[in-house]
Amino acid sequence: MVTVLQIFFVLVLIIILILFVFKTRRQNETIPLPENYRELLTDYVKFYRQLNEEGKLLFDKRVEQFLAAVQITGVNAIVEDLDRLLIAAGAIIPVYSIPDWQYINLHEVLLYPGAFNMDFDQEGSDRPVAGMVGTGPLQHVMIITKWQLRQGFINSNDARNTAIHEFVHLVDKMDGTMDGVPEIILERKYTAQWRNMMDATIGQMKSYGSDIDMYGATNPAEFFAVISEYFFEQPDLLNANHPGLYEMLGRIYKTER
C-alpha cells in the first residue's frame, strides 16, 4: 500500500528532476543576437577585432550563451543592445581560452546609469563606485554603470576596463574566496609564487608608485582585477614593464601570447 510519505517523496523527486532539466536546457540555450552585433563588437571591442574568423565565431557563440544564462536589468537605465554585448564581452574576454567556462556564481547584472555609493544611492556628490560584485542579499548579482561600461571599451589607450575588472572578481570568487588567487584556473604549483608576486608588487606600489593603477594596491583581490585589466587592455605594455606579471597572467588565463 502506498503511503502519503511515499507519495510526498515521489513528488519531491519529480520537482527536482523538472528543475534540473529546466536549468540544463537554459544553460544550453542561445538567443538571437541583434543583426548588427558583429559591427558593434568590431567597433567597440579591441579583443574581438584581433581574433581570426574562427575565433570570432567562437566568441559569438559564447556571447549568445552568456546572454541566455544571465539576466541584464536596467535600474534607472535603458539596457540597449550595445550594453548587452559589452557586458557579455567583458565576461568572455578573461575566460576566452578556458573551454566550457560558465559563471555559475552570476544570475543577473544590474545596469546603473552612473556611479553609486555603498548604499546604492545614484544621486549626490559622494558616489565613488563604478562596479560591484554583490554579496549577502545580492549574491549572484553584479552591478555595473553604463557610463563606465562603455568608457572601458571606447577608450582603448589606457589599461582600464570596468567590465573586465568585475568579471575577474567573479573568476577569483569561483573557488569560494575572493583573495586574488583564482585557484580554480591556476595550477596549484604556481599559487605560492603568485601570492608572493602580488605581495611584492603591492609593496613596491605603496613605496614607490607604479604605472599600475594604484587602486590595485588596496588588497590582493583588487590587485588581481586591476592587473588583469592591464593584461587584456595593454598586453604589450605590461610585458615590457612587468614581464614576470605578464608571464604569470598568461599561465592563469591560458593565453598564447
Could you tell me which residues are beta bridge partners of residue 110?
73, 143
190 against 23, higher pLDDT: 190
pLDDT over 80 (residue 185): yes
| Average pLDDT of the segment spanning 138-166 | 94
Residues of the chain with pLDDT > 70: what percent?
A: 86
Evaluate whether 135 touches 168 at the Cβ level (below 8 Å): no
Own/partner pairs for 170-177, CB < 8 Å, 24+ apart? 170/103, 170/105, 170/106, 170/133, 170/142, 171/94, 171/95, 172/221, 172/224, 172/225, 173/105, 173/133, 174/104, 174/105
| Average pLDDT of the segment spanning 212-220 | 97
Domain ranges of the chain: 14-160, 175-257
Q: Residue 241 has what pLDDT?
A: 97
| Cα 177 to Cα 224: distance, rounded to the nearest angstrom | 13
Q: Residue 16 has what pLDDT?
A: 43
Evaluate whether 68 touches 29 at the Cβ level (below 8 Å): yes
DSSP designation for 212: S
Q: Residue 115 has what pLDDT?
A: 80
The fold for domain 175-257 equals: Collagenase (Catalytic Domain) (3.40.390)
| Grid cell listed for 15 | 520537482
Q: How confident is the model at residue 7 (pLDDT cuts 50, 70, 90)?
A: low
Residues of the chain with pLDDT > 90: what percent?
A: 74
| Average pLDDT of the segment spanning 57-73 | 97
Q: How confident is the model at residue 1 (pLDDT cuts 50, 70, 90)?
A: low
Exposed e or buried b per residue across 132-159, where buried means at least 16 C-beta atoms within 10 angstroms of its C-beta: bbeeeeeeebbbbbbebbbebbeeeeeb
Q: Residue 162 has what pLDDT?
A: 96
Mean pLDDT of the chain: 88
Could you tell me which residues are beta bridge partners of residue 74?
111
What's the CATH architecture for 14-160? Orthogonal Bundle (1.10)
Helical H runs in 29-117?
A: 37-44, 46-49, 53-69, 81-92
| Cα 133 to Cα 183: distance, rounded to the nearest angstrom | 18
Instruction: Please tell me if the domain spanning 14-160 has the same topology as the one spanning 175-257.
Output: no
Q: What is the pTM of this model?
A: 0.86
Q: How confident is the model at residue 59 (pLDDT cuts 50, 70, 90)?
A: very high
pLDDT over 60 (residue 17): no
Neighbours of 125 (CB within 10 A): 5
Q: Residue 29 has what pLDDT?
A: 55
Q: How confident is the model at residue 21 (pLDDT cuts 50, 70, 90)?
A: very low
Neighbours of 12 (CB within 10 A): 10
| Average pLDDT of the segment spanning 8-20 | 45
